[in-house]
Amino acid sequence: MGQEKSHKVTLDPEKFNPDQIKKLGLAVIDTELSAVNALREEIDDSFVKACELMLGCKGRVVVVGMGKSGHIGNKIAATMASTGTPAFFVHPGEASHGDLGMITPKDVVIALSNSGETGEILTIIPILKRLSVPMISITGNRASTLSTEADINLHAGVEKEACPLGLAPTSSTTVALVLGDALAVALLDARGFTEEDFALSHPGGSLGRRLLLHVKDIMHTGDKIPQVHENDTLRDALLVMTEKGLGMTAIVDNEQNILGIYTDGDLRRTLDKNIDVHKAAIKDVMTANCKTTQAHLLAAEALTEMQQNKINAMLVVDENNKLTGALNMHDLLRAGVV
């Protein structure tokens, strides 16, 4: 067996020019900024018609693209799917070997190709036409086969790539991505897509937790609620607070009406006053008229209330102001609401 040749590139410190590296980096950014700015002129009636076509789609938006255009197409499909437009990506090479079965006459296809002559995409065009599947093309050449065969062509051509060799797709892929984002956001607005809708498709994200999680989902209930009677002593309250571990306790009457709350902060203030914790009545040292929340409210609303009032715990009440639960800042942290 022959020895494998090493392709490792050794950096010559004498030829490494930090200023030149920065200059090249800025040049790439400037080139791509210029390409994106030029894209503004392409947001025309064709863009509107493309959005109308997708809004009227009874199926899904199917995005296809090869190579770097495929990566961009995958991102466009993902963005649309997460913002109210059902969409998915199909590899055009695989489409010719069975995956075309994923596309139905109710769908709309978005085909990406900078040259507009990508063989794998051109191969499936006759089948799409036979199925009467509408097609939107995003290309860099208005006169290309894909541009002329599509029902709607969106031009994403660039004057030059940011690659100094003019070979690697750089400006062209950036422009295609921006155009895809523009389509997705325009559709989002046209559909009246809201933060709540976004949260439903992102239940694992921070926004999903903020908009879907309710107080009832994280509050402590039943025997886990720290509570003492109004006639109990401060010592009794401290024992309950230690046992339940929420840094506070509710003070209630015989009907479970909340009379007040006692927290770790109240304990520090009590000690400053030299009050006998063994003999003092809890009703004499509690915080009356305490802030409360309700189980049906969003956990994020409870968080806002706590932050605005600079408190770390809240009691949960029903519509009759009777104690039903308790939560503190640690519960919100664990739930990912904070």
The tens digit of pLDDT for each residue in 69-115 reads 999 999 999 999 888 888 999 999 887 776 778 899 999 999 999 99
Question: Percentage of residues in the chain with pLDDT exceeding 70?
Answer: 89
Q: Which contiguous run of DSSP H or E holds residue 164?
A: none
The answer to whether the CB of 127 falls within 8 A of the CB of 111 is: no
Residue 36 vs residues 31, 120, 164, 189, 324: alpha-carbon distances, Å? 9, 27, 18, 22, 56
Nearest Cα to 176, choosing from 166, 192, 161?
161
CA 89 to chain centre: 19
pLDDT at 211 over 70: no
Q: Please report the pLDDT score of residue 194 as a whole number.
A: 65
Reported as a pLDDT band with limits 50, 70 and 90, residue 134 is very high
Reported as a pLDDT band with limits 50, 70 and 90, residue 184 is very high
Give the mean pLDDT of 130-158.
95
Nearest Cα to 63, choosing from 77, 81, 46?
77
Question: d(Cα 70, Cα 48) in Å, to the nearest integer?
Answer: 24
Q: Please report the pLDDT score of residue 110 as a whole number.
A: 97
Q: Is the pTM of this model over 0.75?
A: no
Report the SS3 class of residue 104.
coil
Tokens describing residue 273: 């006053």
pLDDT at 133 over 90: yes
16 or 253, greater pLDDT: 253
Mean pLDDT of the chain: 87
206 or 79, greater pLDDT: 79
The answer to whether the CB of 56 falls within 8 A of the CB of 47 is: no
Domains of the chain: 19-193 (3.40.50.10490), 215-334 (3.10.580.10)
The stretches of the chain forming alpha helices (DSSP H) are 18-39, 45-55, 67-82, 92-95, 119-130, 145-149, 171-191, 195-200, 206-212, 215-218, 234-244, 264-272, 282-285, 299-309, 329-334
Question: d(Cα 248, Cα 262) in Å, to the nearest integer?
Answer: 5
Name the least confident of 218-227, 288-297, 315-324, 329-338: 329-338
Q: Please report the pLDDT score of residue 274 as a whole number.
A: 80
Question: Percentage of residues in the chain with pLDDT exceeding 90?
Answer: 60
Q: Please report the pLDDT score of residue 1 as a whole number.
A: 45
Question: d(Cα 137, Cα 214) in Å, to the nearest integer?
Answer: 44
